[in-house]
Amino acid sequence: MPQTPHTDQQHRALLANLAQRAMLERGLLPDFSAAVLAELDRIRAPAGVNGESAGESSEIRELTDLLWTSIDNDDSRDLDQLTVAEAVPGGNVKVRVAVADVDALVKNGSAIDGHARHNTTSVYTAARNFPMLPEKLSTDLTSLGFDEVRLAVVVDMVIGADGSVKGSDIYRARVRNHAKLAYNSVAAWLEGDGAVPAGIAAVNGLAENLRLQDRIAQSLRGLRHANGALSLETIEAKPIFDGDQIRDLEIEQKNRAMEIIADFMIAANGVTARCLEARAFPSIRRVVRTPKRWDRIIELAQEREFRLPENPDSAALDAFLVKQKAADPLRFPDLSLAVIKLLGRGEYVAEQPGDTAPGHFGLAVRDYAHSTAPNRRYADLIAQRLLKAAIAGRAAPYRYAELDVLATHLTEEEDAANKVERQVGKSAAALLLESRVGEQFDAIVTGASEKGTWARLLNIPVDGRVARGFDGVDVGDRIRVRLISVDVERGYIDFKKISSSEH
């Protein structure tokens, strides 16, 4: 039976209710318990801003005068990192990444920590967000907010002109955010398409510092790609509301400012992993294994007259991707999505000192530990606790056996969170599409297994299940589909593959 269109309902409230239900169905906690709120009420101020820090003040450097800045989404308040760069002798650049010291207020074993450990990540949906930590912390007391003095763990890296890390150090410091900047306006300025943002213009020397950050980030990225990191570009859609009603899906695209942060975080995560290994500490690594469906990736390349080797080779795959982006930039995100699906998901794996983790196939790095977003990801909070113990000369706060259990839990709950976000995103898309049932669209197949076949529309950033006519199709195939039904409450969008005679 067709659904009654939701024309008279407030979309935002509907989606918020659906998000709450989806969290519960996936075993995630949508709300903070009374114990968490009671514990939160006893936290009145940020940690260590007046020079005191549990007897460790001598280990904390005073770096508030450096030109630290944050670059994030326009509406982000849970600011996890600040960055700053400095030219040093030999043509090198010192890059510092300050990561919010969340552990200073969120203690292992506390009620707040228990909630974070259960969910493992913040969940961002179309109408409501579910922060991993209470907003009093994540957007205030443990956030690196504008003009606030905060404790941080600093990853200090000397980067060569070729993009290689020449040296590194990790230490604790007090920092101050001198400018809260947004990706889009910074990118437009860097690319010559926009005026200098007011936050940059207000701070002497900041424009030059950010251009230095941009230059060295490009060097880091260039070296990674020379080593086989994959040039992937996917389409992310964000619902746009007019009041409480959805009116459109806006595509979010990568830009130069996003790449600065991504490149510095990848480098910092590598330094973190190597630091823990050097101190003989166990750790949790973020890995993307060698793709199991390499044969299908070979087929996709052959369809585009490119030959890949029989065995997985990230450098060869990146060469193919770079060529395809140049040849067909409009449809490159569709190819990227197909490759990502065939690579398989990322996962967390515990590593003992002396072990060799599988590495991250997509980034072409072996040493990689999520560590730069402790307000948003529990894996990063674990890494921070390990790092702080390592640099203080204390014993590791986690044993390998515990990290092994946590790694599995982190992977499972990340998958659950992703499913919540996708489900609510599909509900938002279904609200937009429910008046278009019966129409035909061009699409690309994004999933094909015993569990079902999925496709994404090429001209509207929406994906759904191919419920009929899916025999013989595989990931990466272009097909023509008809929208046959939507179910807003369940986040279902169903298509039928149609033959050329039905066009």
Does an H or E element contain 453, and which? strand 452-457
Contacts of 444 (CB under 8 A, 6+ apart): 334, 337, 338, 455, 456, 458, 476, 477, 478, 479
Structure confidence at residue 54 (pLDDT): 44
Question: Helices (DSSP H) in 32-182: which residue ranges?
Answer: 34-41, 111-119, 135-136
Cα–Cα distance for residue pair 210/187, rounded to 1 Å = 11
d(CA 389, CA 368): 19
What is the mean pLDDT of the segment spanning 206-225?
95
Assess contact for 203 and 178: CB atoms under 8 A. Answer: yes
Q: What is the average pLDDT across 173-181?
A: 97
> What is the structure's pLDDT at 9?
64
DSSP H helices, 227-278, are: 256-278
Instruction: Please name the residue ranges forming H helices in 354-443.
Output: 378-392, 400-433
The answer to whether the beta carbons of residues 383 and 283 sit under 8 Å apart is yes
For the chain, what percent of residues have pLDDT higher than 90? Answer: 66
Fold of the domain spanning 437-503: OB fold (Dihydrolipoamide Acetyltransferase, E2P) (2.40.50)
CA trace torsion 296, 297, 303, 304 (10° rounding): 180
Say which range, 168-182, 373-387, 478-492, has the weakest mean pLDDT.
478-492
Indicate whether 34 pLDDT > 80.
yes
- Distance in angstroms (rounded) separating the CA atoms of residues 361 and 290: 6
pLDDT of res. 461: 83
pLDDT, residue 142, reads 97
Q: Mean per-residue pLDDT for 423-432? A: 91
Statement: residue 23 has pLDDT above 80: yes
The answer to whether 235 touches 251, Cβ cutoff 8 Å, is: yes
Q: Give me the residue spans of the domains in the chain.
A: 11-289+344-428, 437-503
Beta strands in 300-419 (DSSP E): 347-351
Residue 55 has pLDDT above 80, yes or no: no
Q: What is the pLDDT of residue 5?
A: 56
* Interval 447-474 mean pLDDT: 86
423: buried, middle or exposed (CB in 10 Å: 19+, 13-18, 0-12)? Answer: buried
Share of the chain above pLDDT 70, in %: 95
Q: What is the pTM of this model?
A: 0.89
Q: Of 125, 119, 122, 123, whose CA–CA distance to 14 is shortest? A: 125
Q: Residues 71-108: pLDDT tens digits?
A: 998 888 999 999 999 999 999 999 999 999 999 999 99
Model pLDDT, residue 500: 66
pLDDT for residue 379:
98
Label residue 463 by pLDDT band (50, 70, 90). confident
Helical axes 111-119 vs 34-41, angle rounded to 10° = 130
Per-residue model confidence (pLDDT) at position 283: 96
The pLDDT of 14-37, averaged and rounded, is: 97
Please name the residues in contact with 342: beta carbons below 8 A apart, sequence gap of 6 or more: 291, 293, 294, 296, 297, 300, 475, 476
Chain centroid to CA 447: how far? 21
pLDDT of residue 2 exceeding 70, the answer is no
Q: Angle at Cα 414 formed by Cα 276 and Cα 369, nearest 5°?
A: 15
pLDDT in tens, 117-152: 999 999 999 889 999 999 999 999 999 999 999 999
Per mean pLDDT, which range of 32-36, 78-82, 449-453 is the poorest? 449-453
pLDDT, mean over the chain: 90
Q: Model confidence over 358-369: pLDDT tens digits?
A: 778 777 777 889
Residue 281 has pLDDT above 90, yes or no: yes
Closest CA to 220 of 97, 344, 76, 358: 97
When pLDDT is cut at 50, 70 and 90, the band that residue 1 belongs to is very low
pLDDT of 396-418, one tens digit each? 999 999 999 999 999 999 999 99
